[in-house]
Structure 1
Amino acid sequence: MSNSVEIDLTLSPGRHDTLDELAAVAQRAETLGFETLSFGEVTGWDSIALLTILADRTDDIRISDEVIGPYSRSPSQIAQAAGSIQTHADGRFRLGIGTSSPAIVEGWHGLDFDRPLRRLRETIEIVDMATAGESVDYDGEIFELDGMSLELPTPIEIPIDVAALGPKGVELAGRFADGWVPQLFTPDGLERRMEDLRRGAEMANRDPESLRTSVLLRACALEDGDRARALGRQHVAFMISVYGPFYRRSIAEQGYQEMVEEVRSRWFDGDREAAMEAINAEVLDGLVACGTPEEVNAVIDDFAAVDGCDAVRIGWLGPAEDDAIDATMEAVAPSDR
């Protein structure tokens, strides 16, 4: 694997009953040499509280989130929180933002999922203005702000990573953000979508090489490779059938439309075993990485070879238990590769 490609790690906060437990995992990740530590937020631990604790309990590893959305918090709130965390983290924080999904925005926050990409763009612009120390006089299509400014020592440099799957969202990341966090792409699918990132950067007269792409790869590395692949099948079948339309559409558009339809049909007919069996073997070696440690690290190498990929961000499979997570963390750790 190219030494220039970093290995990041994403936590699963819902697996932990206390923030102290999460902090202990972060400290272990730092010891194992992971470059950036991130996590998602849905209805569990609050991102801002957790980022503050991680900034306090770690020394060198970068910290990030996946993702703070422009529906759950206003752009000004995001700027305040990001500025505060970055100051406490001594520059180790990367702000992850994205549109989230209709299920979360409407079902949890009770808001309309309207014009998500426009809202995301305006949020990035406002956060950039505020953290630069500017008076934020902003007249957008979604947000109108009247010239107040951030009452923190500024400027505060905060790299912004956008989580996006579709071509327009990825193009937006290239135009306005500092990085891109894709997930559920095969190496070939990632390579094709990189064209949208580069086009966005070129539209803004930016160097595409200045953007950090960290592809999120759900992984399970066990000496019992069959067990790992069975867990991978469960995870992918769930993502296709239940988790949300964006992921399903992205997988289908990468050449797996028939598989997606078969998996969903069998899942909702009540035959989940058949749904899992319908997952193509090549999907388990691309969309996720499941098998022996050697097989999983080979998939990581395949992503590392994609032009423009700066990091592979390892995440866990939904059905994996603690022993599988511990084994995978050890198998893919930069200090052990």
Structure 2
Amino acid sequence: MPKLGLVLPDEFSHVSLNRTLEFAKRADESGLHSVWKQEASGSNGVATLAAVAQCTTDVQIGTGVASVYSRSPTLLGMSAATLQQLSNGRTLLGLGVSSPPIVEGWHGMAFDRPLRRLREAIEIIRQTTAGGTVDYDGEVFDIGPYNMTLEADGNVPILNAAISDANRSLTGEYADGWLPAFIPQSSFSSHVSDVRESARNAGRDPDDLLVAPWVPTAVDDDPDRAERRVRYLLAQEMAMGYNEQVNEYGFGDAPDRAHDRFRDGNRDAAVEAISDRMVTELTVSGTESDVRDQFRRYSRDGADVVIAMPSMEASVAEIESLIDSLGTIADST
């Protein structure tokens, strides 16, 4: 059985920041492994996690994910070191290259050389979180020498939200873990093997990598009601661009139809466009017993932590119930 984490519902789920903090406290009290804060065009992920660090005691806190375009590598390192101090060593730095619509349309930057930028960012972040002098001469960044004045211990794990084959290879070579989303269960094991093999080829211990997939999750005594929640989340995520990723796994035209219908405002039709196979391959839902069994399959296939993504249409009571169920499932191992 893997450890269990939670993607914190936030403004995309129509809840306030104060409510997001309440969810984090509940996850901490329920004994979950980690909570993760998304960041796109809403609240600042690092600032929110700083508040989470102050109202929790044991749960690990993760950026999910911090873009290597929206912050400089040194600022990412400074942010990680700061969160590490505020949380007493509970920080996980989830990194990603984001996407052209966010990088270019929201941040006004060119989406160029993403993998090289990511690799150099990881190397610079490691120098920054180690403290002392930062000095880096790369193809994308030329930094320093300068001194990091905040006390840092260099022990902030970096997880890469890699999608492509090349990026998964980079994960094994440079990162401390893999933070994937929307990987079909039938492909998950082989992708985990690829990431660990890349680490082995780079002279690293593949067992040191933390594999932590994000998985749409709903728990309910009524399995149909739970399935409806994950179908909605899939439809919304297809509309946010993940249709292009999952198209590579042979789901036919369902991802694109869900994308188009959701974007056109026809959300019911978008949910209907999600195929049964997409639900089976990309989500976990049902009773506590059902969900426990599905999480065990992820563990069997190489996951160390499964990070549950609640539906963005779930009510506060449903999210609270999910957190409690995750705690119960985690306790049963």
Q: 2:305 aligns with which of 306, 311, 314?
A: 311
Q: 2:54 aligns with which of 34, 53, 56?
A: 56
Give the Å deviation of 1:165.
Answer: 1.5
Match of 2:3 in 1: 6
Match of 2:119 in 1: 121
Task: Give the secondary structure class of the aligned counterpart of 1:64.
Answer: strand
Q: For each residue in 1:77-126, what CA deviation from the matched residue of structure 2 results, as whole angstroms up to 9, or x when unmatched?
A: 11111111112211111111111111211121111111111111111000
Q: For each residue in 1:124-171, what CA deviation from the matched residue of structure 2 results, as whole angstroms up to 9, or x when unmatched?
A: 000111222342221111111131121122433111111111111111
Query: Is 1:249 aligned to residue 249 of structure 2?
Result: no
The correspondence of residues 114-193 of structure 1 with structure 2, limited to 5 A, is 114-193=112-191
Q: In structure 2, what is the Cα distance between the partners aligned to 1:254 and 1:174? A: 22
Give the Å deviation of 1:180.
Answer: 0.8
> Structure 1, unaligned stretches of length 5 or more?
none
Task: Give the secondary structure class of the aligned counterpart of 2:190.
Answer: helix
Match of 1:288 in 2: 283
Indicate the percent of aligned positions where both proteins have the same amino acid: 33
Give the Å deviation of 1:336.
Answer: 6.2
Match of 1:79 in 2: 77
Q: Structure 2 vs 1, CA of residues 281 and 157 (structure 1 numbering), >3 Å: closer, same or farther?
A: same
Match of 1:216 in 2: 214
Q: In structure 2, what is the Cα distance between the partners aligned to 1:13 and 1:269? A: 23
Q: In structure 1, what is the Cα distance between the partners aligned to 2:67 and 2:259? A: 28
Q: In structure 2, what is the Cα distance between the partners aligned to 1:273 and 1:10? A: 24
**Is the CA contact 2:223–2:287 (under 8 Å) kept in the aligned structure 1?**
yes
Q: In structure 1, what is the Cα distance between the partners aligned to 2:43 and 2:83? A: 16
Identify the range of structure 1 (153-162 vs 24-33) with the bigger mean alpha-carbon deviation.
Answer: 153-162
Match of 2:322 in 1: 328
The correspondence of residues 202-281 of structure 1 with structure 2, limited to 5 A, is 202-240=200-238, 242-244=239-241, 247-264=242-259, 273-281=268-276
Query: Is 1:300 aligned to residue 295 of structure 2?
Result: yes
Give the Å deviation of 1:190.
Answer: 1.1
Match of 2:88 in 1: 90
Identify the range of structure 1 (154-163 vs 18-27) with the bigger mean alpha-carbon deviation.
Answer: 18-27
Task: Give the secondary structure class of the aligned counterpart of 1:44.
Answer: coil
Identify the range of structure 1 (318-327 vs 76-85) with the bigger mean alpha-carbon deviation.
Answer: 318-327
> Structure 2, unaligned stretches of length 5 or more?
none
Q: 1:23 aligns with which of 18, 21, 29?
A: 21
Q: In structure 2, what is the Cα distance between the partners aligned to 1:24 and 1:268? A: 31
Task: Give the secondary structure class of the aligned counterpart of 2:65.
Answer: coil
**Is the CA contact 1:293–1:328 (under 8 Å) kept in the aligned structure 2?**
no
Q: Structure 2 vs 1, CA of residues 282 and 17 (structure 1 numbering), >3 Å: closer, same or farther?
A: closer
Q: In structure 2, what is the Cα distance between the partners aligned to 1:274 and 1:16? A: 21
Identify the range of structure 1 (224-233 vs 171-180) with the bigger mean alpha-carbon deviation.
Answer: 224-233
Q: In structure 2, what is the Cα distance between the partners aligned to 1:270 and 1:92? A: 40
Task: Give the secondary structure class of the aligned counterpart of 1:68.
Answer: strand
Aligned residues: 330
**Is the CA contact 2:28–2:58 (under 8 Å) kept in the aligned structure 1?**
yes
